Amino acid sequence: MSHRATLHRTRKAAAAVVIAVAAFGLTACQESGTNASPSSSASAAAGSGVSAGAGTAQPSTATPKTNHNTAHRTPSGTAKKSGGRCTNQINYAGDPRSNAEINTIGEQTGHCPAPQKAGKPSGTPKKPGVSCTNQIDYAGDTRSNAEINTIGEQTGYCPPVQHH
């Protein structure tokens, strides 16, 4: 199979995923949770003529969990770029929410949420002129040194070590 055909199928698969996510989002808000069936939106996405090639990721058929307190609000924040993650679009350093939670909000609403700042950042106060990775032993932390040091520069606090 040529590179061009593979690229074309990948783009079609990505379009199918976007359609499915949009359909789930519309279904969730359409009837205030009464009789909202994900199967109707899934069949609408399937009937759109978009097909995925073998070996490409398929959208999940599980119903996404939504926080009904926020799912029906008018979206606020920055419009999410198609195919992008909110955490790659906006700097969420110091935000108490996980990257997964932030990106899920962006997928569900189409808008990246505004960064939240915790009262006082957790962690150790950063020493002037010393990077966090030279101040604290981050062995076993899954984040890159650049990410850890950026958090320290932006907040003034070296983040706690995360072991996952």
Distant-in-sequence, close-in-space partners of 77: CB < 8 Å, separation ≥ 6: 111, 112, 113, 114
**Amino acid in position 9:** R
pLDDT by 10s per residue, the chain, length 164: 565 666 566 777 666 666 766 665 555 444 444 444 444 434 433 444 444 444 444 444 444 444 444 444 444 567 777 778 898 888 888 788 889 999 999 899 989 998 887 666 678 999 999 999 999 999 999 999 999 999 999 888 999 998 76
Q: According to the model, what pLDDT value does residue 96 have?
A: 84
The pTM is what? 0.30
Q: What is the CA radius of gyration of the chain?
A: 20
Kindly report the backbone phi and psi dihedral angles of residue 111, in degrees, each rounded to the nearest multiple of 5, phi listed first.
-130, 140
Q: Give the pLDDT confidence of 53-100 residue by residue, as tens digits.
A: 444 444 444 444 444 444 444 445 677 777 788 988 888 887 888 899
